[in-house]
Amino acid sequence: MNMSIKKKKKLVIILSVILVVILALVAGFNLYADSLLNRMKQTEPFQEGEVSQAEVNQNVDNILLLGIDADEGSGARTDVMKLISLNYDTGKIIITSLQRDNIVWQPENNRYEKLNHAYWRNGVKGTISAVNYNFDLNVTKYVLFSFDSVKEIVDILGGVDIQLSGVEAGVLGLGGAGTYHLNGEQTLSFSRIRSVDSDYQRMARQTRVINAVVQKFADNSPLSMLATINEVLPYLETNISNNNIKSYITSMFSLDLRNIQQYQFPQNGYDSILTSLTLYGYGPQYVLKDFSGEVELLHQQIYGDNYTASERVLEVENGILKLAGY
């Protein structure tokens, strides 16, 4: 039986009302999300070619997480450099710890020097340019936080659960090995431990803190998560637009948040080092045994491809070896 004209009109009205309500909810969510995200310090995006980007076509988003420590007297350096790679083809999240004392070419400063001096010399732009130039990457997005803000962020989250070795627990004045619920001060102290092992273990501890924070967010209800985000965001700086961030939030459902993979550059830590130099009055600054090979391994980890080191990477490697007298 055909629907009467009267019923058709009624159906059209009902559908129109539903559509208006949906649009209003979406608009309301966008306004609320923007009001939250605007609490961050937001900077302008980098333009094409501004930070030495390489040509990379894979469906991977690379975001550089930078933690600066300004307690060293002579200016802030990037104590934490984590490359967060979101691989939408595989659903994997890979966090790569970049060793801060590796000698690299710094295009913004036009000389070889260890990686974490790039921020000290030329800020975020200098750091991203160095990462892209030396590792053949296309990073343009970053998130920056002050190391001291870790304490505040963890306390806002209500603490985080981290498994400690006996030595780590001892440094923090706790009992033996086990999983502890750490507050902000304890978490900051944990991430700064360097006296008991190596800088590579320290990088691994920093990644464990990031994983614990992500896990805490993942365990929250959506409403609790929004409330927490509202308090955390003022401690962050980024050049990622609000629309891109909202897109990331949507895409997170397709990524494996509970199985974040870890990697480090160079892969084998101190075993990858050929020698150490003192440059411009600062040391140690590490020369790697196989710089180009390490870059190839990095690409394989992030992209899963058969990348071969470019002429630019080989030129950097030769320059570093020449600097070291090889």
Mean pLDDT on 199-210: 82
Give the pLDDT of residue 17: 56
Give the pLDDT of residue 31: 56
Number of Cβ within a 10 Å radius of residue 70: 13
Give the pLDDT of residue 73: 42
Which of the two residues, 66 and 73, has the higher pLDDT score?
66
**Long-range contact list for 299-305, CB < 8 A, 24+ apart?**
299/136, 301/94, 301/96, 301/261, 301/263, 302/60, 302/62, 302/83, 302/85, 302/87, 302/94, 302/96, 302/263, 303/56, 303/58, 303/60, 303/87, 304/87, 304/90, 305/58
Mean pLDDT on 259-284: 92
Summarised one tens digit per residue, pLDDT across range 12-59 is 666 655 555 554 444 544 555 566 677 788 899 998 889 999 988 678
Confidence of residue 72 (pLDDT cuts 50, 70, 90): very low
- HSE-up (13 A, CA, CB side) for residue 100: 23
Q: By percentage, how much of the chain surpasses pLDDT 70? A: 83
Least confident of 141-150, 232-241, 253-262: 253-262
Cβ(58)–Cβ(138) under 8 Å?
no
Check pLDDT > 50 for residue 153. yes
Number of Cβ within a 10 Å radius of residue 8: 11
Least confident of 108-122, 147-161, 302-316: 147-161
Whole-number Å distance between alpha carbons of 301 and 303? 6
Q: Name the average pLDDT for the chain.
A: 84
Check pLDDT > 90 for residue 313. yes
Give the pLDDT of residue 9: 60
Summarised one tens digit per residue, pLDDT across range 158-199 is 899 999 999 999 999 998 899 999 999 999 899 888 778 777
Check pLDDT > 60 for residue 292. yes
Check pLDDT > 70 for residue 85. yes
Give the pLDDT of residue 35: 62
pTM: 0.81
Check pLDDT > 80 for residue 283. yes
Check pLDDT > 50 for residue 79. yes
Give the pLDDT of residue 241: 86
Summarised one tens digit per residue, pLDDT across range 87-105 is 888 888 898 989 999 999 9
* Closest listed residue to residue 194, CA positions, set 204, 184, 180, 185: 204
